Amino acid sequence: MDTSVTEDEENDFEEKLFDLHFACVYANSLCTLAEMYYFNGQYETGVEHLTSAMKAIDLHEHDIRTHPVLGRILRDFAIIYMQGSQAVKAEGLFRSALQKFQSPYGQHDIRYQYEAALAKGYYGRLLTKWEKRESIGNQYRDEAKQVIDASYIQPSVPASPLQRYVFSSLFQFPHQ
């Protein structure tokens, strides 16, 4: 079976990236792939997918500055930096990610509320490692847990097994 891509197909795909909604769907898909790789210890491949996600939304620089998909990409980079013991970089990325999730689009889309809760939970986890910031870190983790718990009750929230694993490992709960 020939899986090669013709030049016309490649040009067609690049044209689709000019559509903001397609670019966001594609970037979210790349983030999911990146998560699968970096949670399995393949950080370089995860970073490659996140870099591709950034490139996919790059055409929409003007429209994307406050879009929650950018928040998801930044959060995923922050998790990689956090796991790589680069806490200062991770903190800045988590803060930026949380700002992107506060956009009107992000506040009204339960999927991005879930993604924001993951960002807040990981950021809280990072903060609990630093003296004098443990209480705010625990507060962030508690707030994230409330959002995640509520999303489990609502069947309309598409929480994948990977997302449930990430959440359970974040708060050290048994996997569901």
Tell me the domain boundaries of the chain: 7-171
Q: What does the alpha-carbon distance between residue 152 and residue 154 come to, in Å, rounded to a whole number?
A: 6
36-66 pLDDT, tens digit each: 888 888 888 989 999 998 888 887 766 666 6
Which fold does the domain 7-171 belong to in CATH? 1.25.40
The predicted structure's pLDDT at residue 49: 92
Rg, the chain, Cα only? 17
Q: Quick check: 114 pLDDT over 80? A: yes
Q: Quick check: 27 pLDDT over 70? A: yes
The predicted structure's pLDDT at residue 69: 83
Q: Quick check: 14 pLDDT over 60? A: no
CB neighbour list of residue 17: distance below 8 Å, 6 or more residues apart = 23, 26, 56, 59
Torsion sign over Cα 16, 17, 22, 28: positive
The two counts, helices (H) then strands (E), for the chain are 10, 0
Distance between the two ends of the chain, CA-based, in angstroms? Answer: 38
The predicted structure's pLDDT at residue 29: 87
The predicted structure's pLDDT at residue 78: 92
Average pLDDT over residues 129-158: 76
Q: Quick check: 173 pLDDT over 50? A: no
DSSP state of 39: T
Average pLDDT over residues 136-163: 70
